[in-house]
Amino acid sequence: MILSPLLLLGPMAAAPAVPVQGDLFVIKAPRVELGDGEVMEHAVILVEDGEIVTMGQDLPVERGIPVIELEEGQVVMPGLVNPYSRYGMSGGGYNDSRPQVMASAELYPSAAYKVFLENGVTTVGQYPAGQGIPGQAVAVRPKGDTAGAMIVEDGAYLKVVMRNSSSAKRNLRDGFKKADDHLKKVAKEREKFDKAQAKAKADKKKSKAVFVAPAADPRVQPFFDLREGKLRALVSIRNAASYAHLVDAVGEEDFEWHLRVPLTRDIDVFHVTEEVGERGCFVLMEPLITLVPGTLRQRNLPAEFERAGAKLVLLPRTDSKAGFESFLEDVGVMIGAGLDRKAAVRAITHNPASFMGLGERLGSLSEGKRANLLIFSGDPFQPDTKLDAVMLDGKFVSGDMDQ
């Protein structure tokens, strides 16, 4: 194939592995899922230096800019965002409160991360192992020569595990209590300092002393960050009762918290669907049909939470290669069972990126966002659809155009 200023590609499966994307190129796509639930037909996407510069319908392309023209039927979607994974990590955890622990400390490049890209996941949130309050997650791009090159955002969220126990509530309450205790300590030190300065002034002594507040214990600082909005909490609950324990533990504290709800066949969290929806929390759960306990009545809990007002985030049914491979098909099953299709698209792209504080950079396709996108042979949620190519930061990293 001869590379010309206008590069026309046939089906991705038949395209040779050539470096068609330079610093500046265009993708012409018959259909684009934008990630926010909307669709753009006959889209033109201009990419430069790994970022979407311009996009719109049937835009003219300046002569000399290479063009990747997709086949009729092919669909472009933002790269998938999986905010809750341990895949590729091996560190152990504890059953207590260690909010200062950073999952990024155990991050290192390995072949395991290629599995994410092969299945369309271009951003991953990896959390520390353990129960109680095991620490803070890190958002990564699953490609890079060093851990630093992979990190997109450190401290993406604080993982909290809430169970039906007094110890689980105590972990959360004690963290904020210790933060209050530290503030009291600072106030006392400040009072002592001010008195010393007043005495020096009365004695007509010059002083250049500046008050320096005592540093907070590393285990306490994350609770200050929660209060100040610098950190968000992701609280794992297993049933309606543990949600009630969470609400009781939070009390009057004002901080951002969201829910991880691991679905089991007979989970009873449908009792709190409306309450969670009113709070507008992000809710992370698997695409799984559940049963009302003690009956054969089926429930589509992801659809119920989304309709109630929760911001749905869908995760693979298992944190494994097999789970990643079946993910989109599993989401398709939920759509067939009543989950709104637009909500499903948001739940695997825009919402998880926004949950981790990355919504301005990732999770949807628009001007100024990173060029992380997927090219499918057809509807992404149909079982016979193929993932033709994966683009990460404007570079094809998986598929028949792999570089």
* Domain contains 144: yes
Q: Model confidence over 185-229: pLDDT tens digits? A: 999 999 999 998 888 888 888 888 888 988 989 999 999 999 999
Here the CATH number for the domain that contains residue 259 is 3.20.20.140
Residue 370 structural domain: 1-79+363-403
Whether 124 and 161 map to the same domain: the answer is yes
Whether 92 and 231 map to the same domain: the answer is yes
Whether 243 and 107 map to the same domain: the answer is yes
Here the CATH number for the domain that contains residue 394 is 2.30.40.10
Q: For 101-237, list the strands marked E by DSSP.
A: 121-126, 130-133, 135-140, 151-161, 233-236
pLDDT the model gives residue 292: 86
* Domain contains 261: yes
* Domain contains 273: yes
Whether 127 and 235 map to the same domain: the answer is yes
Q: Which residue has the tokens 């570079």?
A: 395
The secondary element (H helix, E strand) that includes residue 328 is helix 321-336
Whether 328 and 372 map to the same domain: the answer is no
In whole angstroms, what is the distance from residue 399 CA to residue 377 CA? 12
Is 136:155 a contact under the CB 8 Å cutoff? yes
Q: Model confidence over 326-353: pLDDT tens digits? A: 999 999 999 999 999 999 999 999 999 9
pLDDT the model gives residue 205: 82
Whether 376 and 356 map to the same domain: the answer is no
Whether 320 and 238 map to the same domain: the answer is yes
* Domain contains 191: no
* Domain contains 378: yes
Is 21:68 a contact under the CB 8 Å cutoff? yes
Q: Which long-range contacts (C-beta less than 8 Å, at least 24 apart) are formed by 214-218?
A: 214/182, 214/185, 214/186, 214/189, 216/179, 216/182, 217/178, 217/182, 218/100
Whether 114 and 234 map to the same domain: the answer is yes
Strand partners, 313: 284
Q: Model confidence over 245-263: pLDDT tens digits? A: 999 999 999 999 999 999 9
Whether 24 and 156 map to the same domain: the answer is no
For 272, left (φ over 0), alpha (ψ -120 to 50), or beta?
alpha
* Helix then strand then coil, % of the chain, to nearest 5: 30, 25, 40
Sign of the C-alpha dihedral computed for residues 156, 157, 158 and 164 taken in this order? negative
Whether 151 and 264 map to the same domain: the answer is yes
Local confidence band at 2 (pLDDT 50, 70, 90 cut-offs): very low
The DSSP 8-state label assigned to residue 213 in this structure reads P
* Domain contains 342: yes
DSSP characters over 286-309: -S--EE-TTS--EE-HHHHHHHHT
Whether 65 and 87 map to the same domain: the answer is no
Whether 121 and 62 map to the same domain: the answer is no
pTM of the model: 0.90
* Domain contains 185: no
Number of structural domains (the chain) is 2
